[in-house]
Chain A
Amino acid sequence: MKIEAKNLNVSFGESHILKNINMKIPKNSVTALIGPSGCGKSTFIRSINRMNDLIPSFQHDGEILLDGVDVYDSKIDVVNLRKQVGMVFQKPNPFPKSIFENVAYGLRIHGEVDEEYIEKTVEESLKSAAIWDEVKDKLNNSAMGLSGGQQQRLCIARTIAVSPRVILMDEPCSALDPISTLKIEDLIHRLKDEYTIVMVTHNMQQATRVSEFTSFFLNGEIIESNRTDQLFVNPKEKKTEEYITGRFG
């Protein structure tokens, strides 16, 4: 599923967070959003699955098209949208339920009652998220007992279970140790064949390791978008160069 933002403006009350964002995200690719804290990266991905709707002062203008359909169109059902556009959060946030029920949750809320199908999907999702071998013998244990890295892979499994077409990741590794980070990056590599992945990251090495496209955000604007290999080797904008060489941010 390809994503396109057209003249997107977002504000919370008086503060104008995103200014005239125009961006195209090709399907089945990994796109990294980089930039200093508070530049609007998270706000941008939270606009794609309309998580910002939960904040009362949220206002927007412009369009975000998923395969050509505006997600803010009045005919769009948010429940359905979020089923198609999954999200993995910065801090692993499994529910205080069993490992199995964490993954089954999405299926159950969307009305799935066939236990056999649920069991099969839970297993497949845990396998896709590369955590099955670690948890297969303790599916009924609480997910809260897993390590941070395992919890984050479980959250990815939970997202995959409802068969989204886009996965948004908001700094998925920032709370994890280096080994867990590598595991998640490996996973992202493998998932991109099936999903369109948009990932916010503070870590530029991570952007170069996992993404094919990178957009550089600064103060609510996109300064530069390009193929990752080109953006980091040969940035066109001076600000991009300053940021990726570590002169600010």
Chain B
Amino acid sequence: MNFRRLWSPQTSQKIMNVIFTLSGLFTLLILAIILGYILIRGLPAINFEFIFTNPIDSGKSGGILPMIISSLYVTAIAALIATPLGVGAAIYMTEFAENQKLIKFIRFGAETLASIPSIIFGLFGLAFFVVFLNLGWSILSGGLVLALMAFPTIFQVSEVTLSSIPSTYKEGSYGLGATKLQTIFSVVLPAAIPGIITGVILAITRAISEAAAVMYAVGSALSIPISLFDPGRPLPLHLYVLATEGVSLENAYGTAAVLVIIVLILTVGTNYIVERYQMKIMGI
């Protein structure tokens, strides 16, 4: 067969190298464009007053202190509830469950839970926590909804992490006469902590950015929430209201920038701590 190449294999290789490299750089580009746009539009709105005072005129002017506090409050509640549950369920799956069918079924359940749209969680939160349990529009209701959303991620990441802990660690522990509980708490969990924390951060950075899930559960108060039963207005919800109701686009960008910065601090800060811990226990 008389087949003439358009390019030599070496040239194809070079072309593909460029395409793959560009695909990689594209990821960075998207991030840079979104972050850059938000920060360029939002940073001018941010000053001491914006962060540390209450909003005036539904947010047309004034600050967003109650929103920052609401956000941190509901997210902390979500983390406090979802982390023990998720890690506990993962421990059950990796250390106790023996029925393979049940294990698969639970895993399938978690995957399904993770794929439910956040607005559905929001609606459920309204029906169950706000109305049925009569918790009202409150920080607690919002936190509980976010905990439900964060749970499957924490569970899935913890399960993968726990099952990757070498069984030789466990043997060493059992060989010294440790019980299963001692082995789990003193050997397995400390070794799994970096992975588990990564999962928790992944879950709560999603949670702190949620507007749809909390909008029917947390209320929309403009004052600083003190008690668990006070209503609040987390940053994403505030952003949504400012933008859709045309209150102040400028402050909407300011709010967005604050949210992005909080998420960045959470991610970068915990990554740093986790890496330090990892290096310490693995002797690198």
Interface residues of A (CB under 8 A from B): 49, 51, 54, 56, 78-83, 86-87, 89, 91, 93-97, 105-106, 108-110, 141-146, 155, 158-159, 162
Is the CB–CB distance between A109 and B168 below 8 Å?
no
- Given the known interface contacts A96-B190, A96-B282, A105-B186, the answer about A162 and B174 at a Cβ–Cβ threshold of 8 Å is no
Taken together as a complex, chains A and B put the C-alpha atoms of A146 and B282 apart, in Å, by 10
Is the CB–CB distance between B169 and A95 below 8 Å?
yes
Is the CB–CB distance between A162 and B176 below 8 Å?
yes
- Chain A residues positioned under 8 Å from B171 (CB to CB): 51, 54, 89, 93
How many whole Å from A168's CB to the nearest CB in chain B? 8
- Given the known interface contacts A89-B168, A96-B169, A109-B186, the answer about A142 and B283 at a Cβ–Cβ threshold of 8 Å is yes
Having A91-B168, A109-B182, one finds 18 other A-B pairs with CB under 8 Å, namely A54-B174, A86-B176, A93-B171, A94-B172, A95-B172, A95-B191, A96-B190, A106-B176, A109-B176, A142-B280, A142-B283, A144-B281, A144-B283, A145-B283, A145-B284, A158-B172, A159-B175, A162-B176
B178 interface residue per 8 A CB criterion: yes
How many whole Å from A86's CB to the nearest CB in chain B? 7
Is the CB–CB distance between B281 and A82 below 8 Å?
no
How many whole Å from A19's CB to the nearest CB in chain B? 25
Is the CB–CB distance between B174 and A97 below 8 Å?
no
Taken together as a complex, chains A and B put the C-alpha atoms of A242 and B140 apart, in Å, by 76
- Chain A residues positioned under 8 Å from B27 (CB to CB): none
The 5 A-B residue pairs with the shortest CB-CB distance, nearest first, are A145-B283, A142-B283, A82-B177, A93-B168, A87-B175
14 A–B contacts from the bound complex (CB under 8 Å):
A51-B171, A54-B171, A80-B177, A82-B174, A89-B171, A89-B175, A95-B187, A95-B191, A96-B281, A105-B178, A105-B186, A141-B283, A158-B176, A162-B177
- Given the known interface contacts A91-B168, A95-B172, the answer about A106 and B283 at a Cβ–Cβ threshold of 8 Å is no
Interface residues of B (CB under 8 A from A): 98, 166, 168-169, 171-179, 182, 186-187, 190-191, 280-284
Tally A-B pairs: CB < 8 A.
Answer: 82
How many whole Å from A82's CB to the nearest CB in chain B? 4
Which of B173, B190, B281, B283: most chain A CB closer than 10 A?
A: B283
Nearest opposing residue in chain A for B98, CB measure: A56
- Chain B residues positioned under 8 Å from A93 (CB to CB): 166, 168-169, 171-172
Is the CB–CB distance between B190 and A82 below 8 Å?
no
- Chain A residues positioned under 8 Å from B283 (CB to CB): 141-146
- Chain B residues positioned under 8 Å from A108 (CB to CB): 186
How many whole Å from B180's CB to the nearest CB in chain A? 9
How many whole Å from B95's CB to the nearest CB in chain A? 11
Is the CB–CB distance between A159 and B176 below 8 Å?
yes
- Chain B residues positioned under 8 Å from A87 (CB to CB): 175
Nearest opposing residue in chain B for A93, CB measure: B168
- Chain B residues positioned under 8 Å from A109 (CB to CB): 173, 176-179, 182, 186
Nearest opposing residue in chain B for A50, CB measure: B174
Is the CB–CB distance between A105 and B190 below 8 Å?
no
Taken together as a complex, chains A and B put the C-alpha atoms of A49 and B173 apart, in Å, by 13
How many whole Å from A213's CB to the nearest CB in chain B? 23
- Chain B residues positioned under 8 Å from A159 (CB to CB): 175-176
- Chain A residues positioned under 8 Å from B281 (CB to CB): 96-97, 142, 144
Is the CB–CB distance between B282 and A110 below 8 Å?
no
- Chain B residues positioned under 8 Å from A78 (CB to CB): 177
- Chain B residues positioned under 8 Å from A141 (CB to CB): 283
How many whole Å from A76's CB to the nearest CB in chain B? 12
Which of B173, B177, B281, B283: most chain A CB closer than 10 A?
A: B177
Taken together as a complex, chains A and B put the C-alpha atoms of A248 and B98 apart, in Å, by 40
Is the CB–CB distance between A83 and B172 below 8 Å?
no
Taken together as a complex, chains A and B put the C-alpha atoms of A93 and B167 apart, in Å, by 10
- Chain A residues positioned under 8 Å from B166 (CB to CB): 93
Nearest opposing residue in chain A for B172, CB measure: A93
Taken together as a complex, chains A and B put the C-alpha atoms of A52 and B172 apart, in Å, by 13
- Given the known interface contacts A89-B168, A96-B190, the answer about A51 and B175 at a Cβ–Cβ threshold of 8 Å is yes
- Chain B residues positioned under 8 Å from A79 (CB to CB): 177-179
Taken together as a complex, chains A and B put the C-alpha atoms of A91 and B172 apart, in Å, by 10
- Chain B residues positioned under 8 Å from A83 (CB to CB): 176-177
Among B98, B175, B186, contact of A86 (Cβ-Cβ < 8 Å): B175
How many whole Å from B46's CB to the nearest CB in chain A? 42
Nearest opposing residue in chain B for A80, CB measure: B177
- Chain B residues positioned under 8 Å from A146 (CB to CB): 283
